[in-house]
């Protein structure tokens, strides 16, 4: 007696963290070349910082006293929270939830834009109190390093805007999200660099 073949459909399988190949390099090769260049750039700037500090220890001892520590702390919180949002965005796209990922990216951008806003008011306060690039070697290095970092944050925000647009259009999926991941990796790089800059200027004596 023959058997009747009945049509069947395969259930939708949403990949979990266990299904992700941990050997895969996050993002893509291009973003890592860019990150390497950024790290080399800031390594050179940090060397300048230490050389200046070695030659002018008194200026670097008293310099942080005139800076607004609250501004540095606020920027740190904004960047770290924004970075967490990008972690959640990547996690959401892995779970085939592009709408959720899109919302996380928007929140990351909103928090990220808080950085230049805080920096704007901080610089206004600094200038009003005589803390400008002519106030001494410490502040010259401070402005050069922090404003260079701000430029890279703007590039990161442009990248987040681009991947937000692509996420909203449904371009990324659980099997192809390297562009989103690349933007997240670059954004985390700006976080890490700031975590070095913050104590150098706002905390350490």
Give 97's pLDDT tier (boundaries 50, 70, 90): very high
In a domain, 12, yes or no: no
- Count of the separate structural domains present in the chain: 1
CB neighbours (10 Å) of residue 179?
18
What is the CATH classification number for the domain harbouring 134? Answer: 1.20.120.80
The 3-state DSSP class for residue 127 equals: helix
Tell me, rounded to whole angstroms, the distance of Cα 41 from its chain centroid: 16
Domain boundaries, position 65: 25-203
- The pLDDT assigned to 21 comes to 52
> Mean pLDDT over residues 151-163, rounded?
96
Per-residue pLDDT at 73 exceeds 50? yes
Q: Provide the b/e sequence for 121-152 (b: ≥16 CB within 10 Å).
A: ebbeebeeeebeeebbebbebbbebbebbbeb
Per-residue pLDDT at 162 exceeds 90? yes
Mean pLDDT of the chain: 88
Per-residue pLDDT at 23 exceeds 80? no
């Amino acid at each position: 007696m023959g058997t009747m073949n009945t049509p069947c459909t395969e259930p939708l399988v949403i990949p979990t963290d266990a299904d992700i190949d941990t050997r895969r390099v996050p993002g893509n090769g291009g973003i890592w070349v860019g990150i390497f260049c950024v790290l080399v750039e800031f390594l050179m700037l940090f060397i300048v910082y230490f050389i200046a500090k070695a030659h002018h220890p008194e200026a670097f001892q008293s310099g942080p006293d005139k800076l607004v520590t609250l501004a540095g702390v606020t920027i740190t919180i904004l960047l770290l929270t924004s970075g967490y949002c990008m972690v959640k965005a990547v996690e959401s796209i892995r779970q085939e939830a592009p709408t959720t990922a899109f919302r996380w990216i928007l929140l990351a951008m909103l928090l990220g834009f808080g950085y230049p806003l805080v920096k704007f008011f901080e610089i206004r306060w600094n200038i009003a109190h005589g803390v400008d690039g002519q106030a001494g070697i410490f502040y010259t290095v401070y402005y050069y390093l922090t404003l260079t970092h701000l430029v890279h944050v703007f590039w990161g925000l442009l990248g987040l805007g681009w991947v937000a647009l692509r996420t909203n259009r449904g371009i990324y999926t659980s099997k192809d999200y390297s562009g989103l991941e690349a933007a997240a990796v670059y954004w985390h790089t700006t976080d890490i660099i700031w975590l070095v800059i913050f104590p150098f200027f706002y905390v350490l004596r």
